[in-house]
Amino acid sequence: MFISDLTAAELFDLEPHGPDTYVGLAPVYPWGRLFGGQVVAQALRAAQLTVDPAARCHSLHSYFIRGGTSSEPVRFEVDRIRNGRSFTTRRVVARQSNGAILNMSTSFQTDEDAADVTTMSPPADLPGPDGLPDFGWGNMLDRRLARSEPGRVQTWMRLTSDLGPDPHGQLAACALAFISDSVPTGAARSAHPVQVPRSETHKVFMGASLDHSIYFQRPVDPGTWLLADVVSHGLVGARGLTVGTIFDSDGVHVASVTQEVLLRERRKASDGEGALGGKTV
């Protein structure tokens, strides 16, 4: 099944397969391997299914171990690390027949009545998404490049598929995890001394996501326009570190994202596609 044939509600509807074990769909993407953001989002959903719905995910940290395939479903195994009064911790391993493809640690917090302060604001004089070309894919994601400069990329993004009923905002968090993996690699690529047109990137570089972390600051509606302001913190050893700040359409800081990506120049024609992370950058 192609990603364009699915809704977000179907993608995040995991099937129970025994205690704390769930199975999710693995659709076909234009580049072949699974999208890393999908695996992160489904792993988060698996963790949510073992936690009180009143507890919100405040952070997750994931490592892409190997690329996923669309030829078989993904199995998510949840380990209940700790159930606390305020915080709950889970570990999730995503597997296919060739072994683990993702390892995630995630933490949930019961809402507290406390100070709400933001020190971040969106960049000024940025064009809005209307009228900008869409470089999303399928019927799931709309992405529109607002500005790109060496080491910094600013992108409007939104989910364009229905999530279904979501009284506790759990599916919205999964959707944010899904779309947040679609923007960090561009900032690393923009900092590289070798610059090529986007259509030629796969011919010059072998690339993949290595890890992905999200800090969920505030609830978010992923169906509205979100702005991802992503900065590259440099390249070393063929690895690029990016840090992104995500704002809602009112300019409120809703999440922060960090990702390390592999950006390796191809040296011979026999080099294959990126082995990790589920997508070519």
Q: What's the CATH code of the domain at 33?
A: 2.40.160.210
137 pLDDT exceeds 80? no
Q: Is residue 53 part of a domain?
A: yes
Q: Is residue 227 part of a domain?
A: yes
First to last CA, the chain: 23
Q: How many Å apart are CA 158 and CA 60, to the nearest integer?
A: 20
Tokens 């004089």 belong to 125
pLDDT class of 4 with cuts at 50, 70, 90:
confident
pLDDT class of 268 with cuts at 50, 70, 90:
low
Q: Say how far residue 84 (Cα) sits from the centre of its chain.
A: 27
280 pLDDT exceeds 60? no
Q: Is residue 276 part of a domain?
A: no
What pLDDT score was predicted for residue 156? 97
Q: Is residue 281 part of a domain?
A: no
Q: Please give the full DSSP string across 39-62, using - where no structure is assigned.
A: HHHHHHHHHHTTS-TTEEEEEEEE
Name which of 42, 33, 36 is nearest 10 in CA terms: 42
Domain count, the chain: 1
Q: What is the pLDDT of residues 21-47, one digit of tens each?
A: 999 999 888 777 899 999 999 999 999
What pLDDT score was predicted for residue 30? 78
**Backbone φ/ψ region at 166: left (φ over 0), alpha (ψ -120 to 50), beta:** beta
Q: How many Å apart are CA 168 and CA 245, to the nearest integer?
A: 23
pLDDT class of 272 with cuts at 50, 70, 90:
very low
Residue 21's domain spans which residues? 3-111+129-265
Q: At residue 149, what are phi and psi to the nearest 5 degrees?
A: -145, 165
Long-range pairs for 38-41: beta carbons < 8 A, 24 or more residues apart: 38/11, 38/178, 38/278, 39/64, 39/68, 39/74, 39/94, 39/101, 39/102, 39/278, 40/102, 40/104, 40/177, 40/178, 40/181, 40/212, 40/214, 41/11, 41/12, 41/174, 41/175, 41/177, 41/178
Element containing residue 276 per DSSP (H, E)? none
Higher pLDDT, 109 or 32: 109
Percent of the chain clearing pLDDT 90 (strictly above)? 73
Q: Is residue 24 part of a domain?
A: yes
pTM of this structure: 0.91
